[in-house]
Structure 1
Amino acid sequence: MGAFRLLLAVLVAISHMGVTVWGFNPGVVAVVSFLIISGFVMTSLIERNYNAPTQFPLFYLDRVLRLYPQFLLYFVSSCAVIYFLLPGTPQAAALTVENIATSLPIVPLGFYMFGITVPEILPAGWSLGLEMCFYLLIPFLLVYRLRGVAFAASVAVFLSATLGYLNTDVYGYRLLPGVLFIFLCGSYLYRMRARAGVIVATTAIAAALLFLAIVTGWIARRPFNAEVTLGIALGIPAVFLLSKLKYHRIDELLGNISYGVFLNHFVVMYVLRAFWPVAYDATIINSVLLLSFTFSGLSYYFVERPALKLRHFLRAGGGRSILPHLHNTTAA
């Protein structure tokens, strides 16, 4: 799924440069597929490596080592670019000690709508906050067999938001209660059995029908409800089909740079805005993507790969030797 993940990162990037497709925001559609992929991959990771409550701390450490190295690199880079090149902008106003301190743990970024953080330093980071909330919960849902209850509760919240009874953008796209079932669709796709197959197929069909109802006016179009339902309808079959493909080195290479592209395109946009404050035409968009790919390749090789070795060590069982230390630290 590496090439697909890179495509999704590109869709997120161009959406932030004002590109729409037939009036729809492609970045939102892409984020929904990212959630499905995350549910699939986390279920695989936990079942194979962290499938007991005593191993949950190692799973969390694995996730920290996955997200933080490049996040910290590009968050600090964004702070520097904003400070030196974009004074007097809303981004510069976000460079406060308090906002930086609340952004660095990542989780608060997912709750920016409540005023906990100001997301302008690295705007795409809000979805990492959402991911972190999912990581905190998913081991318990799997080990204690609570996916079904969580799925049903999340669908109820999502439908309430999609129909306008709750804030559609917040509860139908950005917060875990309304999108947990999307993550869990990916979870069910891993080692899919009959009941799981019925759940994800029904969800995809229902999402497609909701999308049609929204675009035809039967259901009022509200912020991103069309894009989210479209993302579910397209993302579930895409992840299902791509998960059946065999490993390929080129696909892995493309997947390796996807996370960096997702994070760093705003940094590149900020730099270009400082020197060439023009509209995002095709030339500027291609320049942003080319630079983003280049920086992502470098950051993967020099920043993420060292952390990847430690993650492999944890999964191979080496992390069991540090569990007593983690427990003693927690107790202290």
Structure 2
Amino acid sequence: MGKTFMGLNPGVIAVISFLIISGFVMTSLIERNYKALEKVGLFYLDRVLRLYPQFLFYFVVSCTVIYFLLPDTPQAAELTLRNIAASLPMIPLGFYMFGAAGVEILPPAWSLGLEMCFYLVIPFLIIYRARGVAFALSVAVFMAACLGFINTDLYGYRLLPGVLFMFLCGSYLYKPQAKGLAIAAGTAVAAALIFVAIMAGLIERRPFNAEVTVGIALGVPAVYLLTKLKFHRADEFLGNISYGVFLNHFVVMYFLRAFWPVAYDGHIVATVLALSFLLSGVSYYCVERPALKLRHALRAGAKSGVGQVRGSEIAA
């Protein structure tokens, strides 16, 4: 919606928190249910059942809104058979910058492509205990991007090689041992120092390097502190609607743009938020819940005697 906070894009900061949360939750999910090579395929199936029902629903809704309400727009120009076909596997959305897929139909979904790439590698990093090596290599790529030696936006924010260590910070926070906790905490402190250096002009500010570093500095301690809280029904409710809000807020904005093509003042921002939350509640109960039973049955089959899904697995 074009809103910034102290010159920073809060959406980018939120994405970094999402990556850290995802690393935590996926580690929990694998450790509890899929920590064996023969179960990796079941893990992938679990993720498909999690991501696809609402993604397909909102993708179709977005295509419909764009086609009928936003003709002759950049969004309408992307309604081609090629772009639609490339979007459905989801992974190409994470490589939109190379022309692999369009990004205007459902703009937030580019990060689902990134998320899917993470899903492909995290079971093996955990099973083969390779997180440390992957973490170090990813930090090296990120620093090269942050300092401008390679494309900052692509390799410091959007592609897995440069952001894998952010996922892994969350991974280290799941049942943290001293070494993992030190790695995550040290990363947060280093990110905070880099952010200060960027804002002070000691490091050149490049696309989103300030937002990414402050996102790490805030996200790591936030996730750590949240893991110390007891499970509450509010966690379940917010976890249930979070994915729908992520997917539908651009659809809501597209719909409103057709009837209310003005700047995003306070009233329109509130309207977008209200409609997004309401629509997410509807899509969760009508689209997500049927798939939820299949996912839980899959986990029960992967690990006999699995208990009720609580805490960190609610939003998974």
TM-score class, shorter-chain normalisation, is: over 0.9
Aligned to 1:190: 174
Per the alignment, residue 87 of structure 1 pairs with 71
Partner of 1:218: 202
Query: Where does residue 13 of structure 2 map in the other structure?
Result: 29
Number of the residue aligned with 1:287 = 271
Q: Describe how 1:256-275 pairs up with structure 2 within 5 A.
A: 256-275=240-259
TM-score where L is the length of structure 2: 0.95
Alpha-carbon distance change, 251 to 99 in structure 1, aligned in 2, over 3 angstroms: same
- Aligned residue among 281, 302, 314 for 1:297: 281
Pairing 1:42–2:37 present = no
In structure 2, distance between residues paired with 1:217 and 1:250:
41
Structure-to-structure mapping, 1:9-88, within 5 angstroms = 17-88=1-72
Q: Deviations over 1:154-181 (max 9, x none)?
A: 0000000000001000000000000000
SS in 2 for 1:120: coil
Deviation of 1:292 (Å): 0.4
Cα RMSD of the aligned pairs, angstroms, is 0.9
1 CA distance for matches of 2:30 and 2:182?
A: 23
Q: How far apart are residue 255 of structure 1 and its match?
A: 1.8
- Output the CA distance in 2 between the equivalents of 1:168 and 1:80: 35
1:151 to 112, 118, 135: 135
Q: Which amino acid aligns with 1:124?
A: P
Amino acid at match of 2:79: L
Matches within 5 A, 1:102-141: 102-141=86-125
Alpha-carbon displacement from aligned partner over 1:218-249 (angstroms, at most 9, x marks no partner): 00000000000000000000000001111111
1:252 aligns to 2:236 (yes or no):
yes
Among 153, 157, 177, the residue aligned to 1:173 = 157
Structure 2, gaps ≥5 residues long: 305-316
Distance 1:306 1:246 in 2: 27
CA distance in 1 between counterparts of 2:293 and 2:239 reads 17
SS in 1 for 2:176: coil
Evaluate the alpha carbon distance shift between residue 319 and residue 121 of structure 1 in structure 2; reply closer, same or farther with a 3 A threshold: farther
Amino acid at match of 2:61: S
Shift of 1:251: 2.1
Corresponding residue SS for 1:245: coil
| Alignment check: 8 A CA contact 1:207 1:232 kept | yes
Q: TM-score, normalised by structure 1?
A: 0.91
Per the alignment, do residues 251 and 34 of structure 1 end up closer, same or farther by CA in structure 2, a change over 3 Å counting? same
- Residue deviations 1:63-96, cap 9 Å, x none? 0011000000000000000000000000000000
Query: How many Å separate the matches in 2 of 1:191 and 1:285?
Result: 38
The answer (yes or no) to whether the contact 2:42–2:302 under 8 Å persists in 1 is no
Does the 8 Å contact 1:58/1:319 carry over to 2?
Answer: no
Displacement of 1:318: 6.2
2:219 is the alignment partner of 1:235: yes
Q: Is residue 277 of structure 1 aligned with residue 261 of structure 2?
A: yes
Aligned residues: 304
- Contact 1:154–1:177 (CA under 8 A) maintained in structure 2: yes
